[in-house]
Structure 1
Amino acid sequence: MRVITHLLQISSADPTPESVPIPLNPADTSSTQAVAPAPENILDTLQAELIVALVGVIVAGLLVMWWQLRKNDFSLQSAPKRPHDFGLIDFLAVFFLYFLGQFIVQQIAINFIGINQDTQQFDFASDSQYVRFNLIGQIVTYIPGILYLLGRCGFLKNGLKQFGFIPRKPLRDIKLGVLGIVISLPLVFGISAIMVIISHLLGENVPEIGHVLLQKLADSTTFEIPLLLGIGAILLAPVFEEIFFRGVVQTALLNMLGKQQRWLVIFLAATGFALIHLSALPSWQPLPSLFLLGLIMGYVYEKTGSLLPPILIHMGFNAFNFSMVLLSATAKGA
């Protein structure tokens, strides 16, 4: 457990506590903004167990990936069909509705919550009010675009299945989702650890918790905050974001760039997935991990044509990070 505590540091997506783990700074576990050690003392600060764990998680992830890929075709030449007439107009329509939802949420906050004149931020009366409003805002932001997608795909022949709303092979998709969690966790944690080591070598600070909602979780003293954050992070965010980034972005790019550019499409969608979290992150360290996670989920979606596997990977990943923050907060409060 001590190794995991050293390795984990959570950050996440906007507007939900999306997840990318970053290792804790073992030199200072008393504050949420760790102080970077001097570069020449990096090996003393990063304890031997951290180095062993770092190597172990990377090797474990690579071995699991190799074991699976040696039994399957890694190429995307036989990838399932997707709605061929879902293109730029649909892409723009969905994201217009997304930003319209964000605008509505912002106006509600301005009129009913108010703005603190000193900080120029929304003046929430309590953490509970903040978390409740964030969950409502998450739903209002995404639902209009999803309703458009369901209606649009409903008018296409086999549109819901080709888009990935209806699993093509449910049991296979569940198996791939679980396997994706097993593969992605050690790889992403390993990349996160490398980024933190690089940050220490450069003399940069590494925040212990990288998203305000997860900080609310760590500081929570009531059952309501973990419950609402869990609903948003583990249930809603994976569904909403995978529909948007894997479904909308990858499908639209695939039809615009052509089926021979599937890997480029996955790369671009993963880049967008990482960058959209930037506004919610206090530092750059989580971006490579988010990008890697996006690549894994994008590949699985492209290979299966189903949204279920990437949603399950996303859910499992967020659930693991959520539980680590909750366990850490519980241990500190004990």
Structure 2
Amino acid sequence: MMFAGIPVFLYIVKQISGLDLVERFGQNTVFLSLSLVVNILTCLYIFNIVRTGYGLPVVSLGLTIRDWKSDVKTGLKHYLIILPVILASGFIVDFVLRAFGIDPEQQNIINNLLREDSSGVLAFMVFFGMFAAPIVEEILFRGFMQSAVRIIYDKRQTIFISGFVFALIHWNAHVFLQIFILGLLLAYLYEKTGTLVASITVHVCHNTTTLVFLISFKYFLKSHV
């Protein structure tokens, strides 16, 4: 839906109405809006599979807040422990790549954010990155996929597979190791707590930290860092 559906949808709209949505509203606005729609549809599809295909309640995906305060604390504590590892892995990968004459490639969302001038679009991008993406990705990768994988594999294998697929789907070799480590932490937290509260908390914190740095770099630090 993301790689094929959105371009096909834009092409059909242009052929039928003659309206180029990207030209009219801007690439970031269009793709973020359609990505949000795709994410919502994906969640609804997952809910349908769980409810009608398996006869299970939606809360079986980890959507429960019975001990949310404890889960939030657990997530934050583990994130503060792992964050230096994530940062160090980024520096190591960057150093190794540059040693071989390879210029690390940023993710498209980062490049788009740094180039975007519209405050409204920037606000939309921040909202998407801070809240929409973490919640949807946790429902998909932890609540749904990890629960399904656990049926076949043991806990350690399940955590590894969940983290690996999570990193792979971000489609960027240069940040794969960092996202893989984050994915392992998110998968571990889901196994430990049995809910998505801890993993969503960490995911939101990580994306927020990244976005705060990028916004600061864009407006204040670019000439100094």
Q: TM-score range by the shorter chain?
A: 0.7 to 0.9
Instruction: Report the alpha carbon displacement of residue 318 of structure 1 after superposing the two structures with TM.
Output: 0.7
Alignment of 1:30-69 (within 5 A): none
| Equivalent in 106, 110, 117 of residue 221 of structure 1 | 117
Q: Which has the larger radius of gyration?
A: 1
- Greater relative contact order, per chain length (Cα 8 Å cut-off, separation 6+): 1
TM (norm. structure 2) is 0.86
Count of residue pairs brought into register by the alignment: 218
Which amino acid in 1 is paired with 2:150?
L
Distance, in Å, in 2 between the alignment partners of 1:139 and 1:123 is: 16
Cα distance, 1:219–1:104 mapped onto 2, change above 3 Å: closer
Distance, in Å, in 2 between the alignment partners of 1:145 and 1:222 is: 29
The answer to whether 1:269 aligns with 2:165 is no
The answer to whether 1:310 aligns with 2:196 is no
| Equivalent in 40, 43, 64 of residue 143 of structure 1 | 40
Partner of 1:134: 31
TM (norm. structure 1) is 0.59
| Equivalent in 179, 200, 219 of residue 77 of structure 2 | 179
- Alignment gaps of 5+ in structure 1: 1-98, 115-121
Instruction: Report the alpha carbon displacement of residue 153 of structure 1 after superposing the two structures with TM.
Output: 4.3
Cα distance, 1:216–1:309 mapped onto 2, change above 3 Å: same
| Equivalent in 129, 133, 149 of residue 253 of structure 1 | 149
Partner of 2:137: 241
Which amino acid in 1 is paired with 2:159?
I
Post-superposition Cα deviations, 1:270-305, rounded to whole Å, max 9, x if no partner, equal 111111111xx3xx2211111100000000001111
Partner of 2:67: 169
Cα distance, 1:222–1:183 mapped onto 2, change above 3 Å: same
Distance, in Å, in 2 between the alignment partners of 1:158 and 1:212 is: 37
The structure in which a higher percent of residues are helix is 2
Distance, in Å, in 2 between the alignment partners of 1:137 and 1:181 is: 31
The answer to whether 1:327 aligns with 2:223 is no
> Which secondary structure does the structure 2 equivalent of 1:215 belong to?
helix
Question: Does the CA contact (< 8 Å) of 1:131 and 1:228 recur in 2?
Answer: no
Which amino acid in 2 is paired with 1:185?
L
Instruction: Report the alpha carbon displacement of residue 158 of structure 1 after superposing the two structures with TM.
Output: 7.1
Instruction: Report the alpha carbon displacement of residue 157 of structure 1 after superposing the two structures with TM.
Output: 7.8
- Alignment gaps of 5+ in structure 2: none
CA RMSD of aligned residues (A): 2.6
Which amino acid in 2 is paired with 1:300?
L
Which amino acid in 2 is paired with 1:174?
V
Instruction: Report the alpha carbon displacement of residue 247 of structure 1 after superposing the two structures with TM.
Output: 1.3
Cα distance, 1:160–1:169 mapped onto 2, change above 3 Å: farther
Instruction: Report the alpha carbon displacement of residue 168 of structure 1 after superposing the two structures with TM.
Output: 3.4
Indicate the percent of aligned positions where both proteins have the same amino acid: 22
Distance, in Å, in 2 between the alignment partners of 1:287 and 1:214 is: 15
Question: Does the CA contact (< 8 Å) of 2:10 and 2:21 recur in 1?
Answer: no
